[in-house]
Amino acid sequence: MPATDHLVIFDTTLRDGEQSPGATMNKAEKLRIAKALEKLRVDVIEAGFAIASQGDFEAVKAIAESIKDSTICSLARALDKDIDRAAEAIRPAQRGRIHTFIATSPIHMKHKLQMQPDEVIEQAVRSVKRARSHVDDVEFSCEDAGRSELDFLCRIIEAAIDAGASTINIPDTVGYAIPEQFGETIRQLLNRIPNADKAIFSVHCHNDLGLAVSNSLAAVSQGARQVECTINGLGERAGNAALEEIVMAVRTRQDLFHIDTRIDAQHIVPASRLVSTITGFPVQPNKAIVGANAFAHESGIHQDGVLKHRETYEIMRAQDVGWHTNSLVLGKHSGRNAFRTRLLELGIQFETETELNEAFTRFKALADLKHEIFDEDLQAIATDTRQKEEDGRYGLVCMQVCSETGVVPKANLTLSVDGKEHKVEAEGSGPVDATFKAIESLVDSGCNLQLYSVNNITSGTDAQGEVTVRLERGGRIVNGVGADTDIIIASAKAYIEALNLISKGGIRQHPQVADV
């Protein structure tokens, strides 16, 4: 293996994570997450798939211009136009990488690519060489390696390394692998490929069988020195290997892995919350490392043990991953400069003074409602402000909702549609149902409500509630997020944001589709 003193963390939250249904992010949101990943000290940030859309291209380019301490990567199919577009997007980066891939499993080569194995190898070599003509750092992936034949993997990887690939990725694209078998695959590839010592071997595991982290760790134990993962395990279908779990497993079990990452783990929980807020994918309470219950103890025996000696029932310290480190930093008497400074520390920067003023006004209003303002509240304020500043067909002007025992709930709303105000009202089985029906009585969107989720942003009865609404129309899925100390208002905001997203139309091209 090439000399490496640490396990490389390749974060693909902004690319594979964004392929979760409804998780599409705009450029500003991607940049916020990229800055959080940089603060985490992620080695490589896969910022997107540059050719998928103009928006993806601009987001990758903006991240390449802004991030200095991480390598910026763009995905590209093994096609000249993809590779050239990726190269253009990452050109401003201090350190750039092109990640090109082609399918290698018999089922993919036959039914998707409709190519013979030798043709696939030729195209892989040609693509790696073209990528190397743009950058020195080229990664090559064998798509669906988990179902590929070992002999063929050896052939194509050897050829890709000879062509100039310095990182070789073995993805379990469909989450088919089992840890013992996947680890053995990595071991055999490293032993059988003559030039394996000239590349870092990487893994990218999906969680269809709940084994993404286990498979990744099995690969690391057999010599893989890069893991591709996402914050909160976000990703297509059941998701990807979770960055926080990979990092803390390796760090906690140094007796087995004898290698560590460069990740600054104290920023894990803030990054998790940021990704959850932006994408509208809440973190389950029992999620390892970043879930609300991750360091909570209900059992009296456990509580007693922890009080006597923490290590009896805790293998990590909560503060080491960012829990309980977000102290109160601002209040109702804080000024604009203190507000701006704290936002910058959180990686939040508004493009215009108008946006900053709007956010500050929201902060002051929130400070009048709740005594303690936490970083999570500031993240929600920033997200809410940007949603309001973006052009959208629909907006909430004001609302009144009546919910009384023995009386059918009723919602009265004033909505703006294309700049014109309309008054609507409706009854429902509850205040939220009445609110949504009132909105639909005007917009008649034709959407199906797939998810309605409520989470508290911080603790306490005065906490802001964060609502996620998932809508589907014509096969397109979007997530809308709204936050407010009034959960009904938060629900209306979330529904309206989802309507604005779905009204914009446009579907990103999936990076694993055959070329047309």
**Mean of the pLDDT values across residues 448-474?**
87
Name the domain boundary from 216, 247, 277. 277
Q: Tell me the pLDDT of the chain averaged across its residues.
A: 89
Please tell me whether residues 374 and 400 are part of one structural domain.
no
Q: Report the range of poorest mean pLDDT among 82-91, 383-392, 412-421.
A: 383-392
168: CATH: 3.20.20.70
Per-residue model confidence (pLDDT) at position 332: 74
Per-residue model confidence (pLDDT) at position 506: 55
Tokens representing residue 197 in the block: 């010592």
Q: Is 206 annotated as a binding residue?
A: yes
Please tell me whether residues 105 and 206 are part of one structural domain.
yes
Whether the CB-CB separation of 317 and 310 falls below 8 Å is answered with yes
| Residue 34's pLDDT band (cuts 50, 70, 90) | very high
Name the domain boundary from 367, 384, 401. 384
Tokens representing residue 167 in the block: 């990182």
Please tell me whether residues 63 and 138 are part of one structural domain.
yes
Please tell me whether residues 404 and 446 are part of one structural domain.
yes
Per-residue model confidence (pLDDT) at position 362: 86
Please give the single-letter amino acid code of residue 29: E
Beta bridge partners, 168, equal 140, 201
pTM: 0.84
- Does some domain include residue 514? no
- Does some domain include residue 1? no
Q: Taking Cα atoms as reference points, which of 119, 174, 200, 130 lies closest to residue 152?
A: 119
Please tell me whether residues 162 and 185 are part of one structural domain.
yes
Strands (E), 60-137: 71-77, 96-103
Q: What percent of the chain has pLDDT over 70?
A: 91
Please tell me whether residues 103 and 200 are part of one structural domain.
yes
Answer yes or no: is pLDDT of 299 > 70. Answer: no
**Mean of the pLDDT values across residues 417-429?**
95
Please tell me whether residues 101 and 190 are part of one structural domain.
yes
Report the alpha-carbon distance of residue 79 to residue 478 in Å, rounded: 30
Per-residue model confidence (pLDDT) at position 511: 53
**Mean of the pLDDT values across residues 467-479?**
91
Please tell me whether residues 371 and 476 are part of one structural domain.
no
Number of domains in the chain: 3
Report the alpha-carbon distance of residue 496 to residue 123 in Å, rounded: 46
Q: CB under 8 Å to 231, separation ≥6 — which residues?
A: 11, 13, 17, 33, 37, 242, 243, 244, 271, 272, 275
Residues 351-379 have pLDDT tens digits of: 788 888 888 988 888 888 876 787 778 88
- Does some domain include residue 424? yes
Give the SS3 label for residue 370: coil
Please tell me whether residues 71 and 213 are part of one structural domain.
yes
Please tell me whether residues 355 and 312 are part of one structural domain.
yes
Per-residue model confidence (pLDDT) at position 487: 94
- Does some domain include residue 511? no
Per-residue model confidence (pLDDT) at position 1: 47
Q: Is 286 annotated as a binding residue?
A: no
Please tell me whether residues 105 and 182 are part of one structural domain.
yes
| Residue 293's pLDDT band (cuts 50, 70, 90) | confident
Whether the CB-CB separation of 441 and 433 falls below 8 Å is answered with no
Please tell me whether residues 363 and 398 are part of one structural domain.
no
Per-residue model confidence (pLDDT) at position 387: 66
Per-residue model confidence (pLDDT) at position 343: 82
Per-residue model confidence (pLDDT) at position 324: 64
Per-residue model confidence (pLDDT) at position 308: 56
Name the domain boundary from 246, 277, 308. 277
**Mean of the pLDDT values across residues 251-264?**
95
428: CATH: 3.30.160.270
- Does some domain include residue 284? no
Q: Report the range of poorest mean pLDDT among 189-203, 384-398, 427-441.
A: 384-398
Q: Is 309 annotated as a binding residue?
A: no
Q: What percent of the chain has pLDDT over 90?
A: 66
Q: Is 264 annotated as a binding residue?
A: no
Q: Which domain holds residue 373?
A: 298-384
Per-residue model confidence (pLDDT) at position 78: 97
**Mean of the pLDDT values across residues 111-124?**
96
- Does some domain include residue 89? yes
pLDDT higher for 444 or 326? 444
Per-residue model confidence (pLDDT) at position 463: 83
| Residue 310's pLDDT band (cuts 50, 70, 90) | low
- Does some domain include residue 509? no
